[in-house]
Amino acid sequence: MWAHARYRIGARVLPLRLPVLQWRFPGKGLSISKMTALSTGLVFAASWPAPCRCEAEDTALALTPDDEELLLSALDAAMLTLREWSQAPASWWDDSKRINLSDLHDAVHCTKKMDGFPVKLHMVSAVWDDTSLSELLLLTEASEDCLKLSFDPALDSIQTCRRIVRGNDRQVRLIRTITKPMLLGLISAREVDSVVRDPAAQPDGSIIGGALGLQSPLLIEKVQSDMSNGLGTLSSRPPTPGRTRAIDHTSGYILEPLDSGARSSEARGKWKVYYILLSEAGGGVPTWAAEKGVSKAIVDWFAFARRQQHIWRNSSC
């Protein structure tokens, strides 16, 4: 079964043909059977409990308009960097290898040691056949009630602390992500605070959504020269007692249409999907374990997201 809705990507409002899904989120006791769309993105129409207030919310509310503009400028630069990484030639990467990912095609895992960072940059790309934009948006969405929480083994919860508005653009949010333990508990659960841009269409036809960690030097170096008390406190605040802070330096998804079907908002087609992650586990985790954790998180998303897509298809037959 399918429902029709609209999705805003930047200034564009796309009509989408959405699957009417039936599933139950583990531990939520909630069956979701229909979907609707808002200008801020796709959400599920259901009696969902109100999202928990993020513990950083009071600090976030103290941000001045200048603080917000600095955050938005830094995030815009991060999205451009993501695209540059995705377009970098093979010779730029330290290592590039083909991997097997479900029934996806041309899957490649690239890594590069970045100056000034203790961890490597990871990028996995793969081609998805017979796939619609609406499906990819659902599979990559990051929010309190997003689908990823039901299939991504790395995620425990996501909280939106604040939305940052610039004109008619309500696609930027401050979020807190709690991850699950990884590598048999070698990497414990982590707390990550980020500023996130929801998917937005680019001039080249690609769609990019990504995040920049509030504690990342990539953000701090851009705002430290003109940082108010509110933004300074937000960036330097310690993690919640009992939790370990991880830093999401830059991360995101890039959806690149490869044929006319993909370029149509209502049809299925061929997409090249990039998942890019420059993340620091923190907490004194050995470098080899941190690298393995990042690699596993990216590869797992591709595998489990593709499996979730097949579940949709089978349930709608």
Question: What one-character-per-residue DSSP string does 36-102 give?
Answer: EEETTEEEE-S-PPPPPPPTTHHHHHT--HHHHHHHHHHHHHHHHHHHHHHT--GGGSSEEEE---T
User: What is the percent of the chain where pLDDT is above 90?
Assistant: 41
Collapse the DSSP code of 317 into the 3-class scheme (helix H, G, I; strand E, B; otherwise coil) and give the result: coil
CATH code, domain with 98:
3.30.530.20
pLDDT at residue 302, rounded to an integer: 97
pLDDT tens, position by position, 22-76:
333 333 333 333 232 322 233 222 222 333 344 444 444 567 888 888 888 888 8
Candidates 123, 130, 83; CA nearest to 302 is 123
**How many helices (H) does the chain have, and how many strands (E)?**
8, 16
Does a structural domain hold residue 136?
Answer: yes
The C-alpha angle with vertex 154 and arms to 152 and 159, in degrees rounded to 5, equals 85
Does a structural domain hold residue 32?
Answer: no
Determine the residue type at 177.
Answer: T
* H/E element, 128: strand 120-131
Dihedral of CA 219/224/225/227: which sign?
A: positive
pLDDT at residue 15, rounded to an integer: 44
Candidates 138, 107, 105; CA nearest to 35 is 138
User: What are the residues facing 155 on neighbouring strands?
Assistant: 179
Low-confidence winner among 18-32, 73-87, 115-129 (lowest mean pLDDT): 18-32
Does a structural domain hold residue 157?
Answer: yes
Determine the Cα–Cα distance for residues 194 and 204; give it in Å rounded to an integer.
Answer: 26
pLDDT tens, position by position, 204-246:
899 999 999 888 877 777 666 555 556 777 777 777 887 888 7
DSSP symbols for 187-241: B--EEEEEEEEEEEE-TTS-EEEEEEETT-HHHHHHHGGG--HHHHHHHHPPPPT
Count up the domains in the chain and report the number.
1
Collapse the DSSP code of 133 into the 3-class scheme (helix H, G, I; strand E, B; otherwise coil) and give the result: helix
Does a structural domain hold residue 3?
Answer: no
pTM: 0.81
Does a structural domain hold residue 37?
Answer: no
Structural domain for 87, as ranges: 53-316
Dihedral of CA 185/186/188/194: which sign?
A: negative
Does a structural domain hold residue 16?
Answer: no
Does a structural domain hold residue 38?
Answer: no
pLDDT at residue 25, rounded to an integer: 34
pLDDT tens, position by position, 127-143:
999 999 999 999 999 99
Does a structural domain hold residue 24?
Answer: no
